């Protein structure tokens, strides 16, 4: 049985809304000491969580998910009332301050796309894809998708999740207050509870675009981060849609009764002038209003951009 006594040199590393991350070393008698010189402890109290945050669900998911680009769970245990998840220490995030060459960039995008494709094949929705949740072991990779604390799991899942029956969001009544700021899909911003895994595809498109944009592509240049300001930031870049160009929006609460400023769409080549055409093709396939038209992750893997992984294309 694992316990906090199996770890030493425990130092604060990061803090989230409902958890605290500590960086530490396994003691020599730990089963992980021969494989990992450093690990992280993600500590949270299950009783103080706000739905859909669930460390118990995250623990059970990671115990059942096996993919080379999903962060592995090494152990999970309780320390008094806190649930502690033990994962490898991965030093870098896929953010703009990490300079990587174009070949590695394509490889990392391919790695995370494959992880997303795997999740979606299990009908799971990550719901918080952003640069901070994409980890790099080094500037040359490999890359890992992390933080499954708000992931949505269907009741029909074949994964062995003991606590699912007490923590269910119906497929047509999911929580819409998920995701992070400029990476949230537009259907979430309009409070549409019947969204699909396509919200992950939108978020992933935002992350990829940011590699060439240098900052969130839908940054509204203000201190305000309300849904309406984010909607406006999207419309100013991609153009203002209506129910003809975005049919599913007719089902969104209040959409047809709101009069939006009419913005023309900006070509992606103009928004991201430094991005190669192959990357533009990927991004344009993901950042589509109609969720059913976003390119599925499995299909993305066959696009030309990924053939450049391992080669310099800039």
Instruction: Please provide the DSSP assignment of the chain as one string.
Output: ---GGGEEEEEEEEE-SS-EEEEEEE-TTSTTTTT-S-EEEEEE-GGG--TT--HHHHHHHHHH---TTBPPP-EEEEETTEEEEEEE---EESSTTS---HHHHHHHHHHHHHHHHHHHHTT-B-----GGGEEESSTT--EEE---TT-B--TT--S--TTGGGS---TTS-----S-GGGS-HHHHTT-TT--THHHHHHHHHHHHHHHHSS-TT--SSS---HHHHHHHHHHHH----TTTSGGGGGSTTGGG------PPPPHHHH-TTS-HHHHHHHHHHS-SSGGGSPPHHHHTTSGGGGGTTS---
Annotation marks residue 220 as catalytic: no
Sequence-distant (≥ 6) Cβ neighbours of residue 64 within 8 angstroms: 159, 160, 161
- Please tell me which residue in 2, 82, 128, 220 is annotated as part of the active site: 128
Report the Cα 239 to chain-centroid distance in Å: 25
Strand order in the sheet with 20-26: 7-15, 20-26, 39-44, 82-88, 75-79
Which residue numbers are catalytic? 128
């Amino acid at each position: 049985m694992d316990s906090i006594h199996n770890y030493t040199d425990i130092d604060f590393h990061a803090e989230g809304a409902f958890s605290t991350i500590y960086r530490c070393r396994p003691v020599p008698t730990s089963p992980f000491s021969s494989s990992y010189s450093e690990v992280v402890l993600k500590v949270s109290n299950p009783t103080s969580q706000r739905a859909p945050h669930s460390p118990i669900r995250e623990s059970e998911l990671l115990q059942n998910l096996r993919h080379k680009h999903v962060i592995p769970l090494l152990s999970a245990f309780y320390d008094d009332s806190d649930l502690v998840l033990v994962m490898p220490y991965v030093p870098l995030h896929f953010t703009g301050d990490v300079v990587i060459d174009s070949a590695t960039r394509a490889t990392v995008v391919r790695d995370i796309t494959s992880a997303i494709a795997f999740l979606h094949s299990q009908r799971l929705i990550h719901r918080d894809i952003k640069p901070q949740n994409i980890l790099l072991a080094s500037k040359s990779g490999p890359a890992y998708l992390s933080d499954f604390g708000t992931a949505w799991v269907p009741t029909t899942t074949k994964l062995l999740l003991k606590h699912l029956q007490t923590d269910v969001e119906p497929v047509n009544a999911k929580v819409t207050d998920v995701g992070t700021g400029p990476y949230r899909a537009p259907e979430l911003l309009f409070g549409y509870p019947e969204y699909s895994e396509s919200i992950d595809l939108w978020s992933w498109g935002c992350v990829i675009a940011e590699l060439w944009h240098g900052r969130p592509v839908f940054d509204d240049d203000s201190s305000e981060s309300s849904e309406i300001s984010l909607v406006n930031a999207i419309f100013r870049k991609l153009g203002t849609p209506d129910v003809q160009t975005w049919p599913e929006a007719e089902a969104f609460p209040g959409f047809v009764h709101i009069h939006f400023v009419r913005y023309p769409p900006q070509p992606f080549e103009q928004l991201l002038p430094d991005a190669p055409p192959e990357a533009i093709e990927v991004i344009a396939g993901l950042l589509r209003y109609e969720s059913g038209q976003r390119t599925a992750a499995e299909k993305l893997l066959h696009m030309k951009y990924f053939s450049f992984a391992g080669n310099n294309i800039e």
